[in-house]
Amino acid sequence: MQPVHVWIRSEARGTERRAPVVPADVPALLDAGFEVTVEESPQRIFPIEEYDAAGASVVAEGTWTDAPHDAYVLGIKELPDEPESLRHQHIYFAHAFKGQEDARRTLERFRRGGGRLLDIEYLTDTDGKRVVAFGYWAGYMGAALGVLHLAGTLTAPLHPMAKHELDEHLEQAGKAGADELLALVTGARGRSGRGAQRALVTASVPITRWDRQETRDLHKQALLGHDLLVNCVVTHTPTTPFVEHADLEHERRLRVLADVTCDVTGPTNMLPVNTEITTWQEPVRQLHAGNPEHGSAPLEVIAIDNLPSLLPREASEGFSADLTPHLLGLADEGGPSGPWRAAGRAFDQALAELDA
């Protein structure tokens, strides 16, 4: 039986600094009989020399297209636009199963090439719960950016940093008056919600915590009575949005939406007042100028879809620790099982729905 081959590709997005598997976790795969190949990358937070020292094979950037047919090509974010046909099994966050923008083209590329997409978002256990995610650090970073913007200390373009640096900025913001803000975290009990709360606590910002019950029994005026909304709710079924266009003219204190979920182009967007991501170059965008006559403040949004990459080392280490044991499951006798089988079913269903 051929060893399982995991090919860690470079990232196409210039602001993507994370790694799905860190050098320290490569030996666990090698010891299990895996073959591990890592592409060179000019932006990855971990130097290629560390992967080489850990025993991985090192190849040139972007050579995954020539990888052996049975290799699992592992990444974080979207693939480059070429090639048009994808023949490998790819593991990454594709955001292509809920009708998002460009989802059809992504799936068509796999169908043309005969490849498969094992979307990390759909690696779930028997209860349907995700087994690996960057959520904690996404929530942490999203809430942090919201606080720093409201404190007037957020500068663009954004740059990756270490957690201790970010925490110093948050503590200073708290001392400078951010502790008088009111923040609401939706999805407070999830990974992202817990991360968001930790950042807000660091800045001494008072927190209102909403989870399933509160978001189901939505109290719009209570929501609009906060300065900052940190949205950490992921849903696969359309439900009542948190902030709609009709809410913008109402009396409200709400000034900043930090959309950690960032599902801005899908039908389950909980903040339909925004339908575009923001970027490291322009992290904040105004959605509404406000209306003093109605007591509504200007409303801005932060919707960066790779927030954890701003804390790349911490985010990668935590993610790799969770993902590596599941990668070992790719070698199960009879083929990948458990969460991998769940991800495969999600892909097959998405393909079937293309022509429905």
pLDDT (tens digit per residue) in 112-135? 999 999 999 999 999 999 999 999
Please check whether residues 179 and 301 belong to one and the same domain.
yes
Range of the domain at 88: 5-131+311-354
Q: Which of 77, 220, 250, 326 is catalytic?
A: 77
Whole-number pLDDT of residue 234: 81
Please check whether residues 218 and 328 belong to one and the same domain.
no
- pLDDT > 70: what percent of the chain? 99
CA distance 93 to 122: 9
Whole-number pLDDT of residue 98: 79
Assess whether pLDDT exceeds 80 at residue 99: no
CA distance 325 to 321: 7
Please check whether residues 81 and 121 belong to one and the same domain.
yes
Q: Which of 5, 88, 90, 95 is catalytic?
A: 95
Please check whether residues 200 and 347 belong to one and the same domain.
no
Please check whether residues 127 and 139 belong to one and the same domain.
no
Whole-number pLDDT of residue 90: 98
pTM summary value = 0.89
Assess whether pLDDT exceeds 70 at residue 212: yes
Whole-number pLDDT of residue 1: 62
Mean pLDDT, the chain, whole residue set: 94
Please check whether residues 92 and 121 belong to one and the same domain.
yes
Please check whether residues 234 and 173 belong to one and the same domain.
yes
149 is catalytic: no
Whole-number pLDDT of residue 294: 78
Assess whether pLDDT exceeds 80 at residue 204: yes
Whole-number pLDDT of residue 107: 96
Assess whether pLDDT exceeds 70 at residue 340: yes
Please check whether residues 278 and 220 belong to one and the same domain.
yes
159 is catalytic: no
Please check whether residues 282 and 142 belong to one and the same domain.
yes
Please check whether residues 223 and 260 belong to one and the same domain.
yes
Please check whether residues 155 and 289 belong to one and the same domain.
yes
